[in-house]
Amino acid sequence: MIYLDYASTYPVYESIIKQIPDILKEYNFNPSARYKPALKSKDFLYSMRKKIAEYLNAVPEQIIFTSTATEALNTIIKGVNIKHKNKVIVSNLEHKALLEPVKNLKSADIHIMEIPKGYVDFDDLLDVIDEKTRIVSLMHVNNESGALCDVSEISEKIKKNYPDILILSDMVQSFGKIKTDIKNIDFAVMSSHKIGGLKGAGILYAKHPEIIKPLIIGGGQEFNLRSGTENILSIWSMYEALSITKKNFKEKLSHLEMLNKKLIEFCKKNNFTINSPEKSVPWIFNFSTLNVFSEIMINHLSSKNIYVSSASACSGKSKSHVLQNMKFGKKITDTAIRVSMSFNTMEKEIDIFCNEIIKAVDLLS
């Protein structure tokens, strides 16, 4: 099997799978209970929160554990008061987990920016940002194109002129890989299953948690901001996966850059279009063959045990709103393929993938 769909979900690291029985045995008590073994679970949960906070340069009270990044984004969008300042600025390339709750905001002045170049920069915001703006969202790495946004630089510029604007950043595809200065970022979200941890854990980082109204109420867990017994196993796995991801990242990055370069050369040689902007991370690469419909290509590759996608897996559809909103023509959007890689992706696997693409284009176009 050649798996090249890490942006949709990242297989759980073997070392994590091996430790699961022990973690379950040790820490399966309810962390809110009062007896001794439960206190051990509570301390364990706190230690995860503390370590993740340290990684983000935050404090533990700013880390709220959720079930997914989708839940974290919904909590922010639905939970922040937008009565007095009600403008919410997002780009149309954001993930649906943000776009949909934003579109559902009743009392907001929603501004959905068009940014055909693929990523937001400060100049894009100059025309739309104003005194009425409450939230600006800056997706860090786009999950379909790999486009990289200079979140810390832009947020610093925004805060200089508009200190009260709340900056939100979806860091799902960059978590553990790009260390970002969150000094000027008010909210960020991350997800366990995108970095090799278990499904069922997400992070909502909030600089000022007290300004959010909880989406889920009940027993008052997570500082009253997300009720429900914490999923200690998934939260632990998320921390473990983060530790693995960030370790020796520089070396891992140069390996990914080499693979990315290989894909660029491959596209150039075969006259395929490269849809990822130049300013992209190397682990997500989007291109179009122009000849074979994405769905047909994906099914064909799947029959060869090569797994890629054409758009966000969450959309359930093969057409990408990201590529459409980047104003690529029908031919490009209809034939797009997203390759998303891990540090363990081997050069040989990329070679096999490229060969299969060529064969498929000959066979199917």
Residue of 45, 172, 263, 292 interacting with ligand PLP (CB under 6 A): 172
Question: Who contacts 115 (Cβ-Cβ below 8 Å, separation ≥6)?
Answer: 91, 92, 93, 124, 325
Cα 319 to Cα 144, 172, 268, 313, distances in angstroms: 11, 21, 23, 10
Among 16, 56, 69, 263, binds ligand PLP (CB under 6 A): 69
- Counting contacts by CB under 6 A, is residue 134 touching ligand PLP? no
Contacts with 348 (C-beta within 8 Å, 6 or more apart), sequence order: none
Q: How far apart are CA 123 and CA 332, in angstroms?
A: 27
Q: Which is nearer to ligand PLP, 151 or 354 (CB)?
A: 151
The residues in 77-116 that bind ligand PLP, with binding defined as CB under 6 A, are 95, 97
Exactly one of 62, 68, 180, 342 binds ligand PLP (CB under 6 A); that residue is: 68
202 binds ligand PLP (CB under 6 A): yes
Answer yes or no: 354 catalytic: no
CB of 72 to ligand PLP, least distance (A): 8
Which residue, 195 or 301, has its beta carbon nearer to ligand PLP? 195
Q: Judged by CB under 6 A, which of 191, 245, 280, 309 binds ligand PLP?
A: 191
CA distance 231 to 253: 31
Query: Counting beta carbons within 10 angstroms of the beta carbon of residue 318, is it exposed (0 to 12), middle (13 to 18) or buried (19 or more)?
Result: middle
Catalytic residue among 149, 267, 314, 354: 314
| Alpha-carbon torsion angle 321, 189, 148, 133, nearest 10 | 80
Q: Is 5 in the site for ligand PLP (CB under 6 A)?
A: no
Least distance to ligand PLP from the beta carbon of 119, Å? Answer: 13
State the DSSP string of 199-234: SS-EEEEESSGGGBPPSS-SS-TTTTTS-S---HHH
- Return the residue of 74, 133, 143, 345 that touches ligand PLP, per CB under 6 A: 143
Task: Retrieve residue 352's tokens.
Answer: 């096999």
Under the binding rule (CB under 6 A), the answer on residue 320 touching ligand PLP is no
Q: Which residues are catalytic?
A: 314
Q: Interface residues with ligand PLP (CB under 6 A)? A: 68-70, 95, 97, 143, 170, 172-173, 191, 202, 312, 314
